[in-house]
């Protein structure tokens, strides 16, 4: 069945390319940061921050002490400024002085607290900057620019290889789509039509059953009306509808089978399911002339065909023993004519059929090429699994349709 795995692989390759690109961007950003980082100035700035932080801490301690002292004095002054129970105290000089002290001490406390808050804020900011600068200095010490450059180079090489793989995969995906996509869509359309016709057949059979069991003319008229409503105007006779649907179903079933076979042959080639080919070579030494009679053409067709097949497959040539008197070449001479292949000449009085089918018996990726149908060998794996491809020898060219190969000779 058609399956363009290259399309899904393209998605994975794109995701991997994005990941590598992101890694390269991060490394290059880190390198730019490293090259622009002023290590000496940062150390100097950190030392100044340390001094400022220590000074702020000391100042904060003094302010905290001043606030505590001021609060204590304020408490005492408030106690003296209170009215108390003695009328004489209400108008005393001591109370008047204490009340002025409360006002002064409250103002001073507020000032201390404002200064304390400002110093605390400055201390917090200095500590934050210290932590950030310390982290940057540690990052600078830990960063290895040579390693980062080396990794960046490796990632760029990997990305380039990935792009080349993506380009090849894209071409393969387009090749799959161009060769098999339209056939698959046509097959899918016919399959859907078949499912619809099967439903029509089932419904028509139901109407026929209901007609056979109808009790009156009125009931039959109702069923005919339901049939016409189901299948459209003028189609109120379920028997005629059934006959037409069965005829269309049979026709589409043949088309679906042909497309399925064609799709299988295309995907065999595209998916590289065919690794090796065993040629019934004597078949390819004859061509039909204009009168339809077989004519011996020698090795001409094989000379044109075999190099093309060897470029994509492992090729074995099997000849009948008759090839030697016909061409004057024995097995060794034939092997010299077809380098890069394996040449076998069957012994006298033995047909090449057994050798051809035997070479493809145990490997599902090895296919035979023969004009014979091997009807007398239904038990052989290549015949049973439909791994026999039919060549066509024209008067001036040789063709193997399932492999999409045609060569002039």
When pLDDT is averaged across residues 363-371 and rounded to a whole number, the result is 92
Instruction: Give yes or no for residue 270 having a pLDDT over 70.
Output: no
When pLDDT is averaged across residues 295-299 and rounded to a whole number, the result is 93
Distance of CA 336 to the CA centre of its chain: 46
When pLDDT is averaged across residues 21-32 and rounded to a whole number, the result is 96
pLDDT in tens, 85-121: 766 656 677 878 888 988 999 999 999 999 999 999 9
pLDDT in tens, 159-193: 999 999 999 888 877 777 777 777 888 888 999 99
Architecture of domain 276-408: 3-Layer(aba) Sandwich (3.40)
Instruction: Give yes or no for residue 157 having a pLDDT over 90.
Output: yes
C-alpha span between 405 and 398 (Å, rounded): 8
Name the percent of the chain in helix, strand, coil, to the closest 5. Answer: 70, 10, 20
pLDDT reported for residue 373: 86
- Enumerate the domain spans of the chain: 37-143, 177-270, 276-408
pLDDT tier at 402, thresholds 50, 70, 90: confident
Instruction: Give yes or no for residue 1 having a pLDDT over 60.
Output: no
pLDDT reported for residue 89: 59
pLDDT reported for residue 128: 95
| Pairing mode of beta strands 342-345, 366-369 | unpaired
pLDDT in tens, 132-153: 999 999 999 999 999 999 999 9
143: helix, strand or coil? coil
pLDDT tier at 79, thresholds 50, 70, 90: confident
pLDDT reported for residue 110: 94
365 phi/psi in degrees, rounded to 5: -100, 5
């Amino acid at each position: 069945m058609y399956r363009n795995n290259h399309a899904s692989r393209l998605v994975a390759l794109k995701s991997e390319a994005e990941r590598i690109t992101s890694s390269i961007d991060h490394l290059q950003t880190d390198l730019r940061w490293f090259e622009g980082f002023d290590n000496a100035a940062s150390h100097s700035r950190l030392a100044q921050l340390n001094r400022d932080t220590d000074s702020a801490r000391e100042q904060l301690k003094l302010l905290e002490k001043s606030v505590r002292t001021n609060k204590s004095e304020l408490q005492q002054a408030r106690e003296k400024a209170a009215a108390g129970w003695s009328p004489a105290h209400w108008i005393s000089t001591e109370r008047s002085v204490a009340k002025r002290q409360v006002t002064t001490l409250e103002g001073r406390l507020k000032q201390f607290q404002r200064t304390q808050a400002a110093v605390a804020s400055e201390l917090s900011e200095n500590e934050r900057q210290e932590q950030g600068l310390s982290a940057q200095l540690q990052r600078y010490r830990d960063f290895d620019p040579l390693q980062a450059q080396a990794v960046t180079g490796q990632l760029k090489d990997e990305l380039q290889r990935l792009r080349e793989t993506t380009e090849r995969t894209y071409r393969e995906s387009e090749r799959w789509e161009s060769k098999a996509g339209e056939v698959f869509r046509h097959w899918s359309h016919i399959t859907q039509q078949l499912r619809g016709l099967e439903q029509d057949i089932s419904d028509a059979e139901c109407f026929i059953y209901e007609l056979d069991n109808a009790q009156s003319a009125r009931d039959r008229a109702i069923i005919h009306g339901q049939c016409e409503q189901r299948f459209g105007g003028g189609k109120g006779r379920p028997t005629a509808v059934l006959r037409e649907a069965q005829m269309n179903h049979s026709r589409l079933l043949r088309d679906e089978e042909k497309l399925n076979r064609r799709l299988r042959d295309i995907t065999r080639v595209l998916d590289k399911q065919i690794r090796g080919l065993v040629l019934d070579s004597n078949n390819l030494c004859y061509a039909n002339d204009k009168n339809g009679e077989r004519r011996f053409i020698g090795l001409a067709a094989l000379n044109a065909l075999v190099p093309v097949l060897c470029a994509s497959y492992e090729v074995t040539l099997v000849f009948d023993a008759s090839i030697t008197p016909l061409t004057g070449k024995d097995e060794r001479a034939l092997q010299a004519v077809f380098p890069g292949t394996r040449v076998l000449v069957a012994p006298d009085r033995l047909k090449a059929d057994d050798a051809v089918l035997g070479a493809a018996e145990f490997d599902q990726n090895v296919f035979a090429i023969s004009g014979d149908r091997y009807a007398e060998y239904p038990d052989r794996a290549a015949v049973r699994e439909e791994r026999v491809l039919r060549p066509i020898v024209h008067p001036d060219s040789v063709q193997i349709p399932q492999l999409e190969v045609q060569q002039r000779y």
